[in-house]
Structure 1
Amino acid sequence: MKDSAFSVTRFALGLLLGSALTPVALAQTASSDGYVLDKVVQVSRHGVRPPTASNEKLLTQVTQRQWPTWLVPLGNLTGHGYTGAVEMGRYRGTVLRNAGLIPQGCPDAKTVLAHASPLQRTKATAQALLDGMFPGCGFQPTYVAGKQDALFQANEMSFAALDAEKAKAQILKALGGSVEAAQKRYAPFEETLREVACLPDVNCPYGHEPWKLVQNEKGRFSIKGLSAGANMGEVFRLEYSQGLPLDKVAFGHAPTAADVSGLMVLTKAKYDYLNDIPYIASRGASELMNQIALALKQGTALAAKNVTDTPPDVPLMLLVAHDTNISYLRTMLGFGWKLGDYIENNIPPVGTLQFERYKEVSTGDYFLRIAFEAQSMDQIRNLTQLQGQAKPLNSEFKSATDCRTTRVGLLCPLKAAMATVERNIDPTALTPYRFQ
């Protein structure tokens, strides 16, 4: 069983991928049109997991039926998810080696920073990415003790607390004026989920609860009633991505990736009305965006001066987070995407927001490429090897007006691009931070 031997999977992959690797010197390589990749910061979502315990409890209550059983604890990375993340790491490692950012074999450990949110699924995904990118090197991610890290859980911490009235006003504006009006618009999608998840001879309460905007004890807003449908769509996608038999995916109602996405309309609505709110995103991710910005400016004329809380100056920074973090960053940037069969702006397992800094050899000028990359739903389900034509889905972001199309992608002048990266950082939502 693919989820019952996480450590065995890692050991086997290490033997397969990492035999006889030795350190070599780092050598930067210019592309054919004269650009050198010299720094990368990437923020990845964790891999495939079962529903969290709270989501499992909610979905069981509202549908009055048993949901599929998973072979790992609720909320934890699965063995399938680990293997998919290893493949994404292997692919990214190949890309970065070909660009000359990292060497063949094992680089000096001090040139790589991998830092994860302190949950099992994020820590295990970070390990999987390292195992795929640097097989046999024994690299391990860092993470804070406890359950909260200011980079990843700022939206639950006092230094980034919300002004409840301001947040509520922006949410209601996004909803179109009222929660009730929004629910009426989405009534057909609630009915579709009732038909999928509710048995005909059972008193199924799903879809009959009025939506209500609430704020929890940690300060986060949710829409009671919408949450169940949003979580349902996400769980269906996880079931498909995990490789569950198709008669188990959405109770047999989603035989294709497109069918799964068709059941995620309320999942997108949750993000539209709660995560993709400028004020909420800025409060929740300014700390993370600020550390990204500090890293991208290191070694350039834009580098921060007299700032003590800067990240280590390394060529490669891997941050493993949650879809909430990436959705906040996306909103702060104003970056939208539509990848393959996924719904608009969706953040799949191991989906990665990439910040790639290039130097033009002839002028010494710096440029920034920002992109979002993710495996397709079928690539994750089938554990497809990412090579040849089977590459991840990708969308680039135009962060300035005078960007240029090159062989390495859409490159924007660093100074102008950094103005976009930093424009929505809220200085009152920052706290001193040091990486482990």
Structure 2
Amino acid sequence: MSLQRKALFCLPLLLPAALTFPAAAQDGYTLEQVVVFSRHGLRAPLASPSSALGKVTPDAWPQWDTPSSYLTTRGGVLEAYFGHYFSEWLVDNRLLAADTCPTDKDVSFYANSLQRTISTAQYFAVGAFPGCLVPVVHKEKLGTMDATFNPIIRNDSATFKQQAIDSINQKAGEGGVKGLNERLKPVYQQMAEIIRYKDSANCKQDKQCDLMAQETDVKIEAGKEPGVVGPLRTGTSIADAFILQYYEGTPINKIGWGRIKDEKQLADLVSIKEYYNSVVFSAPVVAKAVSANLVKALAGSFGEQQPKFTFLVGHDSNVASLFSALGVKPYHLPHQLETTPIGGKVVFQRWRDNASNKALLKVEYVYQSTEQLATLAPLNRANPPQRVTLALSECPTNDKGFCPFENFEKITNALTQ
């Protein structure tokens, strides 16, 4: 691993003025430490005439203000808004002081070494601590995946490969991935009509004219991400491009060259992407294997020698595998089309019960609604992001969403042995 690289980002940004509200601290409890795992913010899709997406439709994909996969300008503003809200929340809960630049004992920012993850952390830091120099650490050369966030297969044994394939097929439900494709056939047909697949290069040049007829296979190979090829993967790329257009501010009646009727139809198309992420990265055997380094980083961010606030930035595949490995119970995110939303924050909090002096864990998904993303809505106390409390199977929560922190430590210890 190369020497740690620190990116300093300090651009002036006009943010909503702080409003005066009662403190958000919970009576009888003290917030001691917070570790946030964030999916990167809004990025440009991987669409160009020569890309796989460019070959599935005769129509030109919209042009973006940044290269493919890079955080967009709008994505940066959304992250700065998020940072502004979090700074208010941290002050309200008395973890950090107001109007003070944090030290390295207060905060730590660590991102995967890609432009979109580093930039997400940078913009968040600007929104949270405007005027302060807050280092964002990334450990590899720009554009290189860091092992902490890289969800690749590291076991090359035939036994593991078969276990992983079986786990993915079981996660897909009856009939495995092929059975899932059959159940998604009506959605694939809608998608094929929207992209005019029969007029695409895939059809006219490669004679591949049926989206459903693409060969389906589960790919497990050491040194590479797990994956599924076929209509589920192709549909995921297309759905991803559509939802990113919506977040970038494109009106719903303009997405998909004006062929998507409404948000309900967009949600149906996005469900393909949601299935892919869940089936591939939440499959228990795969999830435990690809999330081990991230679980270690998460667990290691808590403790007396660690900063009060740690911000980690990775990908939706990380969220899916982390949730599966930790045993996060099924959840629903109101006002969102994604289960691992763009820019969404998984907020791990260590609290202290003042009466019993016991350490407690609370986990929340803090995210922007589809509308907040699409309208570029500022976030603050008056207009907060969405919050959903999560529960872990092996860490029973009380009515306030707290569970014993020692249970969380047992879970992470078992995963990193």
TM-score w.r.t. the length of structure 2 is 0.85
Distance 2:154 2:176 in 1: 28
Residues 1:185 and 2:183 are matched in the alignment: yes
Residue 386 of structure 2 is aligned to residue 405 of structure 1? no
Q: Could you report, residue by residue, the CA deviation over 1:273-293 in whole angstroms, capped at 9, with x for unpaired residues?
A: 211111111111111112212
The structure-2 alpha-carbon separation of the partners of 1:419 and 1:217, relative to structure 1 and needing over 3 Å to count, comes to closer
Change (3 A) 1:276 1:118: same
Q: Secondary structure at the match of 2:362?
A: strand
TM-superposed CA distance for 1:159, in Å, is: 9.9
Contact preservation (8 Å) 2:281, 2:320: yes
Corresponding residue SS for 1:38 = strand
Aligned equivalent of 2:170, options 170, 173, 181: 173
Measure how far apart 1:367 and its partner are: 0.5
Tell me if structure 2 keeps the 8 A contact 1:258–1:342.
no
1:156 CA drift (Å)? 5.5
Q: Is the 8 A contact 2:58 2:199 kept in 1?
A: no
Q: Deviations over 1:91-114 (max 9, x none)?
A: 111101100111112122332110
In structure 2, the CA distance between the partners of 1:64 and 1:190, relative to structure 1 (3 Å rule), is same
Which residue is 2:282 aligned to?
276
CA contact (8 A) 2:125 2:134 kept: yes
Q: CA deviation at 1:350?
A: 1.0
Contact 2:32 2:95 in 1 (8 A): yes
Q: 1:271-315, CA deviations, whole angstroms, 9 ceiling, x for partnerless residues?
A: 23211111111111111112212333x23xxxxxxxxxxxx5111
1:46 aligns to 2:40 (yes or no): yes
Residues 66 and 156 of structure 1, relative CA distance in 2, 3 Å threshold: farther
> What is the rounded CA distance, in whole Å, between the counterparts of 1:170 and 1:216 in structure 2?
15
Change (3 A) 1:144 1:195: same
Tell me which residue corresponds to 2:6.
none
Q: Is 2:225 the partner of 1:196?
A: no
Q: What letter corresponds to residue 359 of structure 1 in structure 2?
A: R
- Give the equivalent residue in structure 1 for 2:20: none
Contact 1:127–1:141 (CA under 8 A) maintained in structure 2: yes
Alpha-carbon shift at residue 187 of structure 1 (Å): 1.0
Distance across 2 between alignment mates of 1:327 and 1:379 = 23
The 3 A distance-change label for structure 1 pair 393 and 55 is farther
1:123 maps to what in 2? Answer: 118
**Could you give the per-residue CA deviations for residues 307-346 of structure 1, whole angstroms, max 9, x where no partner exists?**
xxxxx511111001111111111111232322124346x1
Q: Which amino acid aligns with 1:33?
A: D
The equivalences for 1:34-433 within 5 A come to 34-52=28-46, 57-105=51-99, 106-146=101-141, 147-155=144-152, 163-175=160-172, 176-198=174-196, 203=203, 205=209, 206-215=211-220, 218-225=223-230, 226-254=232-260, 257-296=263-302, 298-299=303-304, 313-335=306-328, 336-343=330-337, 346-387=339-380, 390-399=383-392, 403-406=397-400, 410-423=401-414, 425-427=415-417
Deviates more, 1:99-108 or 1:168-177: 168-177
Q: CA distance change for structure 1 residues 348 and 220 in 2, over 3 Å: closer, same or farther?
A: same
Whole-Å separation in 1 of the counterparts to 2:347 and 2:36:
4
Please say if residues 156 and 221 of structure 2, whose CA atoms lie closer than 8 Å, have aligned partners that are also in contact. no
Tell me, which stretches of 5 or more residues in structure 1 are unaligned?
A: 1-8, 20-28, 300-311, 428-436
In structure 1, how many angstroms separate the alpha carbons of the residues matched to 2:156 and 2:149? 13
Aligned to 2:3: none
Give the direction of change, closer, same or farther, for the CA distance of 1:281–1:401 in structure 2 (3 Å limit): closer
The Cα of 1:158 is off from its aligned counterpart by 6.8
Q: Runs of 5+ in structure 2 lacking a partner?
A: 1-8, 18-22
- Flag the 1:358–1:161 CA change in 2: closer, same or farther, 3 A: farther
Partner letter of residue 413 of structure 1? P
CA contact (8 A) 1:18 1:136 kept: no
Structure 1 residue 216: Cα displacement: 5.3
TM-score w.r.t. structure 1 length? Answer: 0.81
Q: Following TM superposition, by how much is the alpha carbon of 1:267 offset from its aligned partner in structure 2, in angstroms?
A: 0.8
CA gap of 1:390–1:422, structure 2 versus 1, over 3 A, is farther
Cα RMSD (Å): 2.9
Q: What CA distance in whole angstroms lies between the structure 1 residues aligned with 2:195 and 2:24? A: 53
Looking at structure 2, the residues matched to 274 and 164 of structure 1 have their Cα atoms a distance apart, in angstroms, of 13
SS at the partner of 2:60?
Answer: coil
- State the alpha-carbon separation in 1 of the partners of residues 299 and 48 from structure 2: 34
Aligned equivalents of 1:76, 1:54: Cα separation in 2: 14
